[in-house]
């Protein structure tokens, strides 16, 4: 099965190259004067790369032998989807094979693999086989699974996008790749409709296109540079606020990971006991371990929300925050990661570690903003003004809050009905808390970082 899957992927990957005839490429190279002039320049090993010029449609036509590259880009999207779903299918089928008591044939196993692949994009699942007969939703996305389709889509953009492309061409390539990717996703949704766990078509129609578009467009513009903003708004692209916000978000999630790891180590005995209760055979233990690993980024986001002060919900009615909790005693499912939940009010050590989450985000964001404000240390001639640095700090705070809210939305969700209907932090509260911390304390920290890099030895106005 693995060999057949690899051969199919190789055939699809080679299809765009077969469609471009060598004779047609040679004719276009001889008839197109632009291509004829470009060949000697590219052949010289010591030739200097020409400056970037506006990308027009004639370059695309000449490069692809007079054909638009839509089919090739769509094929890359199909390959990315096939590799993502196929990788999960290999893991699920391997666990099904070593299971001592497989209930059904491999059909349900492959359906579960496609379910997990769509769940990784943020689509919701519906479990029809329940004790009460009422379908139970599953909308909590394992964030580690989302890295696989995200990396494959980014790789598809890098493969399909020529090196000298402009932002417009990057957007076109991203749209074509997304189109091919969505064709495979639609087939996956139809494939799971008759399974015991099916995908909610409405949520898939919203989540999968958004996921694919965001990843492909971001990957394309990170390769070519984003399109220039009009007029005075161009200074936003010179402040490096998006990079500072991304660095601050990564630092905040890293601090959340440390907080969650320390909490799990402190409750290692309870987690080990739950692990032994849930899994008896080796296939069950491996499956439980893989599921726990896939949910580690979710735990990091929950811990980050706890450190920001807003906390998170467990069991649909219990709110855990550093300084207060609300609701009745939750009846949580026996899962090892849930054993690391903090108690009511939190211990002093837990509160001290939680305070490091916003401080880390503020420090890292301010450092990047200060370095962008003064690119050359102690050189005021290349530095931006303090007002621009403050505006950049507010923009970085808004972007960081938006990213935090998206992560909180994906990291939480439902695992069923009743007491399992709501898990994780509230997206809007988490986004507002992240924005507030960085905007209030990050702006003066960025100004201090700018003043430190400016230095007393600077010259100029």
Alpha-carbon distances of 387 from 161, 232, 446, 451, rounded to whole Å: 38, 15, 11, 12
Asked if the structure places residue 53 within a domain, the reply is no
Q: Confidence class of residue 131 from pLDDT cuts 50, 70 and 90?
A: low
Looking at the structure, tell me whether residues 254 and 107 fall in a common domain: no
Looking at the structure, tell me whether residues 279 and 297 fall in a common domain: yes
Smallest CA-to-CA distance from 167 within 115, 226, 84 is with: 226
Q: Confidence class of residue 197 from pLDDT cuts 50, 70 and 90?
A: confident
Asked if the structure places residue 61 within a domain, the reply is no
Q: Confidence class of residue 2 from pLDDT cuts 50, 70 and 90?
A: very low
Residue 158 to residue 395: CA distance in whole angstroms: 28
Q: Where are the alpha helices (DSSP H) in 165-200?
A: 167-192
The mean-pLDDT minimum among 66-75, 124-133, 138-147, 387-396 falls in 66-75
Looking at the structure, tell me whether residues 239 and 223 fall in a common domain: no
Looking at the structure, tell me whether residues 280 and 152 fall in a common domain: no
- Say how many residues make up the chain: 461
Looking at the structure, tell me whether residues 199 and 272 fall in a common domain: no
Looking at the structure, tell me whether residues 291 and 336 fall in a common domain: yes
Domain count, the chain: 2
pLDDT in tens, 331-371: 677 787 887 787 655 567 778 888 899 999 999 999 999 88
Model confidence at 424: pLDDT above 60: yes
Model confidence at 433: pLDDT above 60: yes
Looking at the structure, tell me whether residues 251 and 364 fall in a common domain: yes
Asked if the structure places residue 373 within a domain, the reply is yes
Asked if the structure places residue 41 within a domain, the reply is no
Choose between 353 and 2: higher pLDDT.
Answer: 353
Model confidence at 404: pLDDT above 70: yes
Q: Confidence class of residue 285 from pLDDT cuts 50, 70 and 90?
A: confident
Answer with the one of 179, 211, 227 that is the final residue of a domain.
227
Residue 383 to residue 461: CA distance in whole angstroms: 10
Model confidence at 379: pLDDT above 50: yes
User: What pLDDT, on the 0 to 100 scale, is given for residue 348?
Assistant: 76
Asked if the structure places residue 120 within a domain, the reply is yes
Looking at the structure, tell me whether residues 272 and 364 fall in a common domain: yes
Answer with the one of 227, 244, 275 that is the final residue of a domain.
227
Q: What is the average pLDDT across 429-448?
A: 93
Share of the chain above pLDDT 90, in %: 37
pTM of the model: 0.78
Looking at the structure, tell me whether residues 213 and 329 fall in a common domain: no
Looking at the structure, tell me whether residues 331 and 435 fall in a common domain: yes
Model confidence at 276: pLDDT above 80: no
Share of the chain above pLDDT 70, in %: 75
Q: What is the average pLDDT across 168-173?
A: 90
Asked if the structure places residue 38 within a domain, the reply is no
Answer with the one of 227, 254, 275 that is the final residue of a domain.
227
Asked if the structure places residue 412 within a domain, the reply is yes
Range among 55-64, 100-109, 213-222, 366-375 with highest mean pLDDT value: 213-222
Show Cβ contacts of residue 347 under 8 Å, excluding neighbours closer than 6 positions: none
Beta-bridge partners for 320: 312, 325
User: What pLDDT, on the 0 to 100 scale, is given for residue 306?
Assistant: 92
Looking at residue 21, the DSSP 8-state letter turns out to be -
User: What pLDDT, on the 0 to 100 scale, is given for residue 38?
Assistant: 39
| Secondary structure, 3-state, 73-112 | HHHHHHHHHHHHHHHHHHHHHHHHHHCCCCCCCHHHHHHH
Q: How many CB atoms lie within 10 A of CB 68?
A: 13
Model confidence at 275: pLDDT above 70: yes
Strand bridging mode 197-199 / 136-138: unpaired
User: What pLDDT, on the 0 to 100 scale, is given for residue 1?
Assistant: 41
In the chain, % helix, strand, coil (3-state, to 5) comes to 70, 5, 25
User: What pLDDT, on the 0 to 100 scale, is given for residue 291?
Assistant: 87
User: What pLDDT, on the 0 to 100 scale, is given for residue 414?
Assistant: 86
Asked if the structure places residue 194 within a domain, the reply is yes
Q: Confidence class of residue 36 from pLDDT cuts 50, 70 and 90?
A: very low
Host domain of residue 108: 2-17+67-227
Choose between 104 and 239: higher pLDDT.
Answer: 239
Model confidence at 22: pLDDT above 50: no
Looking at the structure, tell me whether residues 245 and 381 fall in a common domain: yes
Strand bridging mode 312-314 / 136-138: unpaired
Q: What is the average pLDDT across 216-241?
A: 78
Place of tokens 């001889």: 30
Looking at the structure, tell me whether residues 292 and 181 fall in a common domain: no
């Amino acid at each position: 099965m693995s060999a057949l899957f690899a051969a199919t992927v190789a055939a699809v990957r080679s299809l765009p190259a077969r469609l471009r005839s060598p004779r047609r490429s040679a004719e276009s190279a001889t008839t197109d004067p632009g291509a004829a002039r470009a060949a000697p320049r590219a052949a010289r090993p010591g030739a200097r790369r020409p400056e970037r010029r506006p990308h027009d449609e004639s370059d695309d036509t000449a490069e692809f032998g007079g054909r638009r590259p839509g089919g090739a880009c769509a094929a890359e999207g199909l390959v990315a989807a096939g590799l993502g779903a196929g990788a999960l299918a290999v893991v699920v089928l391997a666990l099904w094979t070593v299971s001592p008591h497989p209930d059904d044939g491999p059909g349900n196993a492959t359906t579960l693999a496609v379910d997990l692949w769509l769940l990784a994009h943020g689509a919701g699942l519906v479990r029809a086989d329940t004790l009460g007969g009422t379908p139970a939703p599953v909308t909590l996305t394992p964030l580690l699974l989302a890295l696989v389709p995200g990396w494959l889509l980014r790789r598809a953009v890098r493969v399909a996008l020529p090196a000298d492309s402009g932002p417009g061409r990057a957007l076109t390539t991203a749209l074509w790749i997304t189109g091919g990717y969505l064709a495979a996703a639609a087939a996956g949704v139809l494939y799971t409709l008759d399974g015991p766990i099916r995908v909610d078509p409405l949520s898939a129609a919203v989540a999968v296109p958004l996921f694919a578009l965001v990843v492909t467009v971001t990957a394309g513009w990170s390769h070519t540079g984003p399109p220039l903003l009009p007029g005075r708004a161009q200074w936003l692209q010179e402040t490096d606020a998006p990079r500072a916000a991304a660095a601050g978000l990564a630092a905040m999630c890293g601090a959340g990971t440390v907080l969650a790891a320390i909490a799990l180590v402190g409750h290692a005995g309870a987690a080990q006991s739950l692990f032994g209760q849930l899994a008896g055979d080796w296939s069950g233990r491996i499956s439980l371990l893989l599921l726990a690993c896939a949910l580690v980024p979710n735990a990091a986001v929950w811990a980050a929300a706890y450190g920001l002060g807003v906390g998170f919900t467990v069991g649909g009615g219990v709110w855990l925050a550093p300084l207060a909790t609300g609701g009745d005693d939750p009846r949580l499912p026996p899962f090892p990661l849930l054993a690391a939940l903090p108690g009511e009010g939190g211990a002093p050590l837990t509160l001290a570690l939680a305070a490091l989450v916003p401080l880390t985000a503020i420090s890292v964001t301010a450092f990047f903003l200060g370095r962008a404000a003064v690119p050359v240390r102690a050189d005021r001639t290349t530095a931006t003004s303090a007002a621009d640095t403050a505006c950049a700090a507010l923009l970085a705070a808004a972007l960081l809050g938006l990213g935090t809210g998206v992560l909180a939305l994906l990291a939480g969700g439902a695992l069923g009905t009743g007491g399992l209907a709501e898990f994780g932090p509230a997206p809007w509260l988490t986004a507002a808390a992240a924005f507030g911390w960085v905007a209030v304390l990050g702006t003066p920290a960025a100004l201090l970082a700018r003043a430190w890099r400016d230095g007393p030895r600077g010259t100029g106005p």
